[in-house]
Amino acid sequence: MKKKSFPITNIGTISLMTIFIILCMVTFAALSLSAAANDARSGQKIAEHTLDYYTASNQAEAILADADVVFANAYQTTTDADEYYRLISEGMPDTVTAALSDGGLLEASYQVTISASQALDVRLAIFPPQQIQSEKLDAFYKIVSWQVIQTDTWEGDNTLHLIQ
């Protein structure tokens, strides 16, 4: 009597193939979940940083609005540049420092804290009253710089803790 021969592909091979496909799908699902969690954390950090920046920017705008009132009062009081700059220096908010530059213009600067390691640095060049009148300027100052700066130094940790 002749023995029956079974084909090479039998129920065992299909089961192994199904298990392999399921393992691949579970692995890809875990990787996708991990990537989504990382993206969510990154998005949250960016949202917090953006909120901190715009909060600091609003504070800087408020300081600038206070300084603008000082500029207008000084401009209405005198047309002498030295007296104008003196009135501005005396009337500035405490957070603003004003000093004469090499070119004879008054420069004001201040910083607003964004986070523990960053600040918003604002620098203004204040026009003398003669220049405002002669050029018919609609502002008392020009914003020279409005930028985020680092307030602390970065120290990278490149050590590897292989054995504890």
Dihedral, 150, 101, 98, 53 alpha carbons, nearest 10: -30
Residue 53's identity, in one-letter code, is Y
Residue 102's identity, in one-letter code, is D
First to last CA, the chain: 70
Query: 156 lies in a domain?
Result: no
Query: 58 lies in a domain?
Result: yes
Looking at per-residue pLDDT, the higher value among 2 and 40 belongs to 40
Give the per-residue pLDDT at 40: 96
Contact (CB, 8 A) for 143 and 122: yes
Query: 130 lies in a domain?
Result: yes
Query: 34 lies in a domain?
Result: no
Question: What's the whole-number mean pLDDT along residues 119-133?
Answer: 90
Sheet holding 97-100, edge to edge: 97-100, 106-113, 118-126, 141-150
* Measured distance CA(51)–CA(49) in Å, rounded: 5
Query: 117 lies in a domain?
Result: yes
Query: 142 lies in a domain?
Result: yes
Number of domains in the chain: 1
The predicted-structure confidence for 47-91, as pLDDT tens digits, reads as follows: 999 999 999 999 999 999 999 999 899 988 887 888 888 888 888
Query: 161 lies in a domain?
Result: no
Query: 54 lies in a domain?
Result: yes
Task: Report if pTM > 0.75.
Answer: no
> What is the domain extent for residue 93?
41-150
Provide the CATH number for the domain around residue 99.
Answer: 3.30.1300
